[in-house]
Amino acid sequence: MSVVNTAQHGFSLIEVSIVTAIVLLLAIIGVPAIGGYVVENKVPKVGEELARFILQTKVNAPNGSSTPYEGIDTSSLARMVHDSSIFTVSGTGATAKVHHGMGTGGEVTVAEAEAGAAFTITLSKVHDAACPSIASVLQRVSDTITVAAASQSATVVKDATTQYSALAAESYCAAGAVNTFVFTAS
């Protein structure tokens, strides 16, 4: 008569614990890197859509008017990007909100500037992984660019007397989704 060994073979609790600890450690290290990578990949698409909005707004501005952008607001952008896979639009009309996805809770607002002679596009809560890429994409269609980290005052990175520098823009960005960019076009 033969004896069949029916003992089960498997992993011990210690082996399972060690593997779980290694997976957890990899997740802790990898998740922030993946988040930054996702933000970086959104920048070209967000920048392209915003540049298209700026150029379309300039082309459609009334000729000969000293206030071609009078009354422009976020609803103008919301109408253009409402079907976009890049932006998330909530609300309509004056209550429209456009979220850019380059930082937790990041929003895009549009407002007239210089009494309607220009307009601004403000991106709030931009993650540092998008610095300075978003400014580099939009610097060709913007007259002025400022950046402010957290609760600090805004710093000009491009205007009539300051030539744009990606290194300078990056140096003004703080870690995390705490940066605010303002792009002015006329």
At 132-154, the pLDDT tens digits run 899 999 999 999 999 999 888 99
Query: Domain extents for the chain?
Result: 13-185
143: left (phi over 0), alpha (psi -120 to 50) or beta: alpha
Q: How far apart are CA 22 and CA 51, in angstroms?
A: 44
Can you give the pTM of this predicted structure?
0.81
CATH code matching the domain that covers 13-185, chosen among 3.20.20.70, 3.30.70.940, 3.30.1690.10, 1.10.760.10:
3.30.1690.10
Give dist(CA 8, CA 156) in Å, integer: 69
Whether residue 102 contacts residue 135, with contact meaning beta carbons closer than 8 Å, is answered with no
Closest CA to 108 of 167, 51, 68: 51
Q: What pLDDT, in 10s, does the model give residues 42-87?
A: 888 999 999 999 999 999 998 888 999 999 999 999 999 988 888 9
